[in-house]
Amino acid sequence: MSGLKPHEIEVRSMAIIDALLPAGDWTPSERAVVKRLVHTSGDPSLATAVRFQRDAVEAGVTALRAGASVFTDTQMARIGVNAGRVGDLGGAVECLIADDAVSAEAARAGRTRAACAMRTFGPRLEGAVVAIGNAPTALREVLALAAEGVARPALVIGVPVGFVDAAESKDALMASDLAFIAIEGTRGGSPLAAAAVNALLRVLTGEA
């Protein structure tokens, strides 16, 4: 095993994951996303918690192909997304969590920086791919912006992790009329948010 090349390790990993996954009521593209999430988490049981709004994968792929940008709630998620591929398609990968103006507004308003960052993006989220891996408050803000008519993302990847409002905010996303990819319950995280975007990019190029 130690002599395997990186690509061979990945191919073998995906074959193992494919054999471990339940049959599932997934489209081939959805299954490709599930496999990437399981690969990133190292947890085959995660597959049963992944939820898709109908045609969500297609909505995300279509948006990325048209040059949509990806907006994240954390720098970890931003760095994890293949920005080169997004850029080649005409988009960008952005995060405002460390922006000075966002920090100042969060302190003034008594809100989280993640929520203020999404509010600052505002209309720029229209038609974009939003990937939330850490902050339920960011996901709540995206839902609020859509409800207010400010911006409707083409796809919301809602996988915030934790024990305070993470599951509930994802439930709210799944109850909305937005296209979504979500993970039920407390599991999630920035690496999974980035992995979902990268899976969409692979579907787009036919690599999945």
How large is the C-alpha radius of gyration of the chain? 17
3-state secondary structure 28-81: HHHHHHHHHHHHHHCCHHHHHHEEECCCHHHHHHHHHHCCCCEEECCHHHHHHC
Instruction: Evaluate whether 69 touches 91 at the Cβ level (below 8 Å).
Output: yes
- 41-47 long-range contacts (CB < 8 A, ≥24 apart) are 41/187, 41/191, 41/192, 43/187, 44/17, 44/20, 46/183, 46/187, 47/21, 47/22
Q: Single out the catalytic residue among 31, 35, 36, 39.
A: 39
Residue 202: strand, helix, or coil: helix
Tokens of 22: 């339940």
Tokens of 99: 């922006």
Q: Is 7 a catalytic residue?
A: no
- DSSP readout, 137-195? HHHHHHHHHHHTTS---SEEEE---SSSSHHHHHHHHHHSSS-EEEE-SS---HHHHHH
Enzyme catalytic residues = 39
